[in-house]
Amino acid sequence: MKKAIKILSIAVVLAAVLCIAAACGSAFVFATDIVDGLVVSAPQYSFGATATCGGVGCEIEVRCNGITAKSDGTRFTVYLNEGDNAVLLTAKKGSKKETRSYNIVYRADFVVRTDLSERVIRDDVLYFSAAAYCNDESCALTVTADGKLISPVSDGKYEFKLTENKQHEFVLSARSGDAASTLTETVFYEGFKVNTTLVSQDTASDTLSFAVRTTYGKVACETEVTVNGDVLSPNDGNYLLVMPQAGEYEVRVTARSGSMQKTELFSVRYSDAPPRFERLSLEEGKEYKGSVFTFEVTAEDALGAKLPDNSLSFFADMDADDGRDDFVALGQSDLKKVWSDSEKTSYRINFEAGVFEGCKGKAFLFRVVAEAFGRQTVQTFRMTYVGAGADGEIGEVVFSLEGFTVGCGYFIEPMLLTVFDGEPFSVTLTRLLSAYGLEYRYTGELDSGFYLASIKGLDLDGNRIADGLAERLEVFSYTLQKDDDGRYSLGEFDYTSGSGWMYSVNGSFPNYGFADYFPQDGDVVRVCFTLALGRDVGGGDSTGGSGSDFAEFADYARVNKLLALIRENEFYGSGEEAYAKAVEEISVWDASQELVDRVYNELIAAYGLNLS
């Protein structure tokens, strides 16, 4: 370690003084690295010095404060007093001698302090503190590592990423006025190695054996293994993890040498329960009129993680009533994956292709199998494809167009809408919007990649972000103005960067677009305007888990179907008052299920209906 404080500029000076005999009566040459006037912060000062006379080496004596300096030949060490210190170099040759004088200033009040020598290293990062003081007051300090400036992460605290098997040089330079001090420290880091048979994994076994060996450089070092914070004791380098209950276990393997250590993390998830279906949009005993049907699956393991798609299997027994178990595995020609994300996976069945060809009018069994941790969960559904009518009609869906988030209620109140076999809902939707005199803009094609970008001509008078919603949004415009033609256009990026049109089917927001949705008779379709990528309408999971919903949203399927039925039957001769009141009450962005169910029951009572 080298400590030096310099006044004005720091320089290593080799002074060679030639005394010419004609001028001074001698011929001595001095060579030394003493810096005259140097200010230092340590009471010891070391330097080199030699002398020659007539080109031949001669004796040299060094004294400081009346004390002769110790020497190992050409290096000398002197002990300084506080303040000025005269260091005298005297060269002798026979009866001749000559003395040179240098002033070294020792200031104990100017120091650089650091704990670099403690070598506190965690996961290949060196942590140290450093500060400089003059007269017990802090002064400016710069720190470089391998020649590059590093900044403190907090007051006087530094971090530096080390490289294995490399010597790093740290230079700490302090300055106060004209005074400067430099401290140099080197750190050689050999690096840790953690060798283990343990890997992060899911398991159905409640015990797991693994081995661990750690080294610093090439030398074995101390090893510590913890499980959820508790130390796990080894048996000759081998460890046994016992998991008393299902859950996730964090295993930390730490290699340690003195104040240095490195930790590697592993996750072991143990489950003793079968997986479960969080959502499976299939119905027992349902008759399908449309030849194409899309359904959703969300299967989770016992620890709540979505199962990968290859953990799902699908089978069909094409005769549900023959008393035999004739299930066959379904392949890509029988079942198409529409979309998969972190929340759910969507599949499409074509009842007139693959193994389903010729199944019209005959009940069959459709089986879904989820597997995790060596355990299975099976659900089987009886299904019948009955086909469309002669005109291609497959029935009706309940449709609504909603602007609850911008205080505009239903743009199109729930209504019955005829749908046709093989027609994607992108075609049905655009035909309906045109029938209502609304203009629309979309991207993609009607049969592929269709995205409803905007709708023009809606009644948006009085629009504003709904009460209670604005504070949930980070950046927004509060109201929407009419276009130059005096009409409103509502679409993507209006109000917020996360706004646009989304849709739900039977209470669930699909993770695929309108062009991939082929409706079935009885579906309830809501097209909603969102300001927050679905989080304000209940569809936050349809964008692949972009964020949790802002509220616990109600399922409108049942009440929307009832409203459409009441309208279709001209209010059953009982007037519109109860209907209008119900529409007004539920036209809010955060309606609770309790509210929606209450309105449903009030409508049943008001119109004297029996829908059991």
**Does the structure show a pLDDT above 60 at 222?**
yes
Distance of CA 126 to the CA centre of its chain: 25
First to last CA, the chain: 91
The model's pLDDT over 144-163, given as tens digits with 9 standing for 90+, comes to 999 999 999 999 999 999 99
Helix 593-606, helix 577-586: angle, nearest 10: 180
User: What are the structure tokens assigned to 104, written together?
Assistant: 């070294």
Residues 6 or more apart in contact with residue 296 via CB below 8 angstroms: 279, 280, 281, 344, 345, 346, 347, 508, 510, 511
Per-residue pLDDT band at 468 (split at 50, 70, 90):
confident
Q: β-strand 448-458 against 439-445: which pairing, if any?
A: antiparallel
Q: Which residue has the higher pLDDT, 236 or 16?
A: 236
pLDDT digits (tens, 9 = 90+) for 542-551: 765 456 888 8
Lowest mean pLDDT among 69-73, 370-374, 509-513, 533-537: 69-73
The string of DSSP codes covering 134-149 is ETTEEEEEEEEETTEE
Beta-sheet pairing, 75-79 with 70-71? antiparallel
pLDDT score of 32 more than 90: yes
The tokens for 583 are: 């529409």
pLDDT in tens, 532-572: 999 999 988 876 545 688 889 999 999 999 999 999 999 99
- Domain 393-570 classified CATH 3.60.15.10? no
Domain parsing of the chain, residue ranges? 2-106, 110-189, 192-270, 276-385, 393-570
Is 70 exceeded by the pLDDT of residue 15?
Answer: no
Q: What tokens appear for 215 in the block?
A: 């080294």
**Residue 385: predicted pLDDT:** 97
pLDDT at position 16 is 34
Choose which CATH entry (2.30.30, 1.20.120, 2.60.40, 3.30.310) describes domain 2-106: 2.60.40
pLDDT at 2: 36
**Mean pLDDT value of segment 490-505:** 92
**% of residues, the chain, pLDDT over 90:** 72
Quickly count helices (H) and strands (E) in the chain: 5, 45
The radius of gyration of the chain from alpha carbons, rounded to an integer in Å, stands at 42
431-466 tens-digit pLDDT: 999 999 999 999 999 999 999 999 999 999 889 899
pLDDT, residue 82, reads 86
Which CATH superfamily, name and number, covers 192-270?
A: Immunoglobulins (2.60.40.10)
pLDDT of residue 544: 56
Q: What is the mean pLDDT of residues 222-240?
A: 95
For residues 372-394, average pLDDT: 93
Q: How many CA atoms lie within 13 A of 109 on its CB side?
A: 8
In CATH, which of 2.60.40.1180, 3.90.550.10, 3.40.50.970, 2.60.40.10 is domain 110-189? 2.60.40.10
Residue 95 has pLDDT above 90, yes or no: no
- Asked if the domains 192-270 and 393-570 are classified in one and the same CATH topology, the answer is no
pLDDT of residue 39: 78
Mean pLDDT, the chain, integer: 90
What is the per-residue pLDDT across 261-284, written as a single tens digit (0 to 9) for each?
A: 999 999 999 988 899 999 999 999
CATH number for the domain formed by residue range(s) 276-385: 2.60.40.10
Instruction: Give percent of the chain above pLDDT 70.
Output: 94
pLDDT at residue 173 greater than cutoff 90:
no
pLDDT(138) > 90: no
